[in-house]
């Protein structure tokens, strides 16, 4: 049922929040131990911190898949759920959603749906649209590049202004001041 999927999304969110708070606690303990120069305490605190960090990182991928599955079952388009998914702009820390995990999650949580076949058909249409959006929707690429291009234009305008001022100063006749 979709309600169970909502519970899963909410519980994953809460778990990630709790883990992040514990990370901060262990990070502070490691910092304090470093200040007091207690090497065994530092090692234990750092090990606890990195263990929690790794677990939270794993949960992020699971949370994303569960969230996308929930959105698919609700009928929310992927383009609304993740409007800035870099897709073809790799290297920006974005990864492609795990479509298979999303599909498995939808199948798992749609077993009790009254119209299961209709729900799966709706999901197959959703995932086809989602893959098209992810692979390179031309509408989102200009929106992604707009702030960068505006900053480049501002820098170029400032450089032109500095260059004009330098030329004016170079062309202006040098006025000698006479000593009185």
> Distance between CA atoms of 50 and 132, rounded to whole angstroms?
37
Q: Are 73 and 110 in contact (CB under 8 A)?
A: yes
N-terminal to C-terminal alpha carbon distance within the chain? 96
pLDDT of residue 16: 94
| pLDDT single digits (tens) 139-175 | 555 655 666 667 777 778 888 888 888 888 888 766 6
**CA within 13 Å, CB half, 173:** 3
| pLDDT single digits (tens) 98-123 | 899 999 999 999 888 888 888 889 99
List C-alpha distances in Å: 71 to 44, 77, 97, 122, 128: 40, 7, 13, 12, 14
pTM score of the predicted model: 0.66
Q: Where are the domains of the chain?
A: 2-137
Coil, helix or strand at residue 24: helix
């Amino acid at each position: 049922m979709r309600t169970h999927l909502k519970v899963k999304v909410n519980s994953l969110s809460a778990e990630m929040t709790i883990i992040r708070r514990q990370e901060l606690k262990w990070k502070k303990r490691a910092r304090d131990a470093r200040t007091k120069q207690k090497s065994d305490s530092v090692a234990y605190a750092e090990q606890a911190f990195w263990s929690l960090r790794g677990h939270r990182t794993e949960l992020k991928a699971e949370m994303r898949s569960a969230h996308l599955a929930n959105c698919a079952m609700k009928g929310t388009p992927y383009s609304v759920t993740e409007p800035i998914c870099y897709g073809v702009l790799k290297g920006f820390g974005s990864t492609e959603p795990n479509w298979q995990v999303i599909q498995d999650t939808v199948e798992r949580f749609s077993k009790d749906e009254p119209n299961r076949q209709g729900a799966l058909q709706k999901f197959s249409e959703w995932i086809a649209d989602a893959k098209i959006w992810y692979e390179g929707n031309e509408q989102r690429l200009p929106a992604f590049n707009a702030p960068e291009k505006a900053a480049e234009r501002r820098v170029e305008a400032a450089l032109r202004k500095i260059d004009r001022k330098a030329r004016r100063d170079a062309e202006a006749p040098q006025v000698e001041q006479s000593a009185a």
